[in-house]
Structure 1
Amino acid sequence: MFEKVLVVEDHQTSSKAVAKIIEDLKIPFCEYLYYCDDALIRIKKELQTGQPFDLLITDISFIEDHRPQKLKSGLELIKAAKALQPHLKVIIFSVEGRPTPIKSYFQELEINGYVQKGRLDAIELSQAVLQAAQGKRYMPYQLKETLAPTNNFNFTDYDITVIKLLAQGKLLSEIPQILAELKITPSSKSSMEKRLNHIKTVLDFKKNEQLVAFCKDMGVF
């Protein structure tokens, strides 16, 4: 479980709800901030002390007030934070419910979870934190169903074998020999890469890591 969490939220009611979840999960330390600029300063400071935050939970939209901010949104904060601390786990907690933007957060910002504020958000946020602590990604079921293009792509046994090998940490250069030993064809690197590129194009992914994460999330293997 996480030891140190940073929550960035400018609504007190939402902050209190998150605080209750963090308390229930028995996370030792959690800091709450209202401004993205302050959050980035804290992330920098804790990195310098050698005791960085394990998890960042942030909203997307922040209301402008009398205090000017360089970072205008949670998305800008995530980009800046990951530039400093690439392996920082991130969960977005927001009212945004449109599938396309949410999909881009997973693909472009490589977030670990997304929870839409609503009726069951306390339960979902708790699940998201637990999943992220286990190195998994969390996406609410209704959003997963909306975003998942599995109906548009039929994974073959060959596809699943190659993607599973990638998930196991095998390098692209190592997989052709493994396929040959298993007598699976085609086993050439060029054929394998061509197939992977086709799958990523259809599913709108840029990296093999995104494809692997998607297949894990959707239960492809």
Structure 2
Amino acid sequence: MFKKVIVAEDFDSINLGIEQALRDLDITNYQHTKYCDDAYLKIRKAIIDNEPYDLLISDLSFKADYREVKIENGDKLIEKVRAEQPDLKIIAYSVEDKSHRIRSLFTNSDINGFVMKGRNSIDELKKAMRLLSTSELKYISPEISSVLQENNNYEIDDFDVLIMKHLSLGTAQDDIRDTFISLNIKPNSKSAIEKRISKLKDFFKANNTVHLVSIAKDMGII
């Protein structure tokens, strides 16, 4: 079982549940932080002191407050921590249900587990810790695993990224069309651009173009 654990979670009520799960597994050496910046600094210091953590449990979304932060969400924390300590076991613990975001965590940051917060999440968290402490297998909450396994043939390409970059700059669709025509980027008809934006919103489950841009930025696509 894990010997030294750090938890990045900004809600006290959820932290209490995680702490109970750790105690149930006889894990007594743990710390929790409410800010990703603090978690990252603690992990770096532990490495320098030659007393590294062997498990990080992190939420993905952190509510902004009066404090200015450099690492604003769990996705970026996990990315930075993975670069610092490649062998650290990482569990993302979140209400996130967007398959593309979860898949990105497994593919790009090589997380070891994803537990979805819910009615049975504490029991799931304990199952994940038991599994990850004794094997190199991955743990995924049952309610999201089927979504991740769905066959989705749509792939994001350079054309999609270019459109989203223009949207992020506040460029109107007519102006995107004119830019594409001037640069001989095809397809460049207004209807083709509208259809591609619609596909992107469906793929990312975005409510509107602003939401689409926000998701793309969170994932580091633009």
The aligned counterpart of 1:37 is 37
Q: Aligned-residue CA RMSD in angstroms?
A: 1.6
**d(CA) in 1 for partners of 2:94, 2:120:** 13
Distance 1:151 1:105 in 2: 17
Partner amino acid for 1:127? K
In the other structure, the counterpart of 1:114 is 114
Give 3-state SS (helix, strand or coil) of 2:57's partner: strand
Number of residue pairs matched by the alignment = 152
1:97 is matched with 97
Question: What does the per-residue CA deviation read over 1:1-30, in whole Å, with 9 as the maximum and x for residues that have no partner?
Answer: 110000010000110000000000011301
Instruction: Tell me, in whole angstroms, the C-alpha distance in 1 between the residues paired with 2:50 and 2:110.
Output: 24
Whether 1:69 aligns to 2:69 is yes
Counterpart of 2:139 in 1: which secondary structure? Answer: coil
SS at match of 1:97: coil
| Aligned twin of 1:145 | 146
- The match for 1:11 is 11
Distance in 2 separating the partners of 1:102 and 1:74: 12
Corresponding residue of 1:155 = none
Q: Shift in Å at residue 150 of structure 1?
A: 7.5
- List per-residue Cα deviations over 1:43-85 (Å, max 9, x = no partner): 1111011110000000001111111000010111111111111
Paired letter, 1:148? Q
Q: How does 1:1-221 map to 2 (within 5 A)?
A: 1-134=1-134, 135-149=136-150
Distance in structure 2 (CA, Å) of the matches to 1:46 and 1:4: 10
Q: What's the counterpart of residue 215 of structure 1? A: none
Q: What is the distance in 2 between the residues matched to 1:3 and 1:142?
A: 29
Give runs of ≥4 in structure 1 deviating > 3 Å.
149-152
